[in-house]
Amino acid sequence: MNPIWLLRMAKWAHHPPSVKRVILVFAVIALALLIAGIQWMGWWPDWATSERVPRRF
């Protein structure tokens, strides 16, 4: 493990993030899971799906 990560963990232990930040992170994760679930079930609209553009060399 990189020592930088140990310092970062110590910083988080001494100064944890605020409740608002934790709620924001969980809300973003929930939104991403919701979008992935909608797409997996096939309910995602075609107009919101991007198409791959072929690369030219």
Mean pLDDT for back-to-back runs of 10 residues, the chain (57 residues): 91 95 97 96 89 83
pLDDT of residue 56: 81
Quick check: 30 and 37 in contact, CB under 8 A?
Answer: no
User: In angstroms, rounded to a whole number, what is the distance separating the alpha carbons of residues 40 and 52?
Assistant: 19
> H/E element holding 41?
helix 19-41
pLDDT of residue 29: 98
Percent of the chain with pLDDT over 70: 100
Residue where the block lists tokens 């553009």 = 53
User: In angstroms, rounded to a whole number, what is the distance separating the alpha carbons of residues 23 and 31?
Assistant: 12
pLDDT of residue 57: 72
> H/E element holding 25?
helix 19-41
pLDDT of residue 26: 98
pLDDT of residue 8: 92
